[in-house]
């Protein structure tokens, strides 16, 4: 399966996907990496792995729609089966999202629907939650509210600061993102009435509700 990965920064989830693909645990190949920042460190990670890259600076476009159009053209040039957002810090317009409906996924550093948007770890600590985590979901026009594929939870410790909690969550992101993409690549994910179902691997072809939580 052909993946295009969109990034804005260091690309740690991109590195996790590249590692899983190289190890043979992810039946997919990253065929292109696009960034909205020319200095995104993740571009170097991709280049070192032999993956073609391209930077599209969103600040050089007249408006969001113009950027989305150029981004879609660049994506389509790689003919991907799945478009993967991995720390892509730009809100995508409705037309763009609908263009890739059902084959556009994101990983978010909270247990959605809690804490959509930015600064999730800081907000989790401020609210005093005892469990935090991350979510892989299909992208829809409503920000951070698409159908959930899988989540992973971590405890919030009394000694946690924002950096410590973020590191614990990031380790789980690297675990569940390749898992969700493998399910997609294997043709096991189904969207039904706004929920994700996971087809069983049994010979009867039964359908199960996708696991909503992966234990640490």
Q: Which fold has domain 2-187?
A: Rossmann fold (3.40.50)
Active site amino acids: 108
The whole model's pTM is what? 0.93
pLDDT digit string (tens) for 166-211? 999 999 999 999 999 999 999 999 998 899 998 876 534 444 455 5
DSSP of 79-119: --SEEEESS--SPPPHHHHHHTTTSEEEEESSSTTSS-SS-
Report cis status (omega within 30 of 0) of the bond before 93. no
User: Domain-by-domain residue ranges, the chain?
Assistant: 2-187
Return the axis-axis angle of helices 120-127 and 162-185, rounded to nearest 10°: 120
pLDDT digit string (tens) for 2-49? 999 999 999 999 999 999 999 999 999 999 999 999 999 999 999 999
Measured in whole angstroms, the distance separating CA 192 from the mean position of its chain's CA atoms is 20
């Amino acid at each position: 399966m052909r993946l295009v990965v969109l990034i804005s920064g260091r690309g740690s989830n991109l590195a996790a996907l590249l590692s899983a693909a190289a190890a043979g645990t992810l039946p997919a190949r990253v065929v292109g990496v696009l960034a909205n920042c020319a200095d995104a460190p993740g571009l170097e990670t991709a280049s070192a792995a032999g993956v073609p890259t391209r930077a599209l600076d969103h600040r050089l476009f007249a408006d969001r729609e113009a950027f989305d159009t150029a981004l879609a053209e660049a994506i389509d040039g790689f003919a991907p089966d799945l478009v993967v957002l991995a720390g892509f810090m730009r809100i995508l317009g409705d037309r763009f999202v609908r263009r890739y409906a059902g084959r556009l996924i994101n990983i978010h550093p909270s247990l959605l629907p809690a804490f959509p948007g930015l600064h999730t770890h800081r907000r989790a600590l401020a609210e005093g939650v005892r469990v935090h985590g991350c979510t892989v979901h299909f992208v829809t026009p409503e920000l951070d509210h698409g159908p959930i594929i899988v989540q992973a939870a971590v405890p919030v410790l009394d000694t946690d600061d924002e950096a410590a909690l973020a590191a614990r969550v990031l380790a789980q992101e690297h675990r569940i993102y390749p898992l969700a993409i493998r399910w997609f690549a294997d043709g096991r994910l189904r969207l039904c009435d706004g929920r994700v179902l996971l087809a069983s691997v049994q010979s009867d072809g039964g359908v199960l509700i996708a696991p909503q939580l992966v234990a640490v």
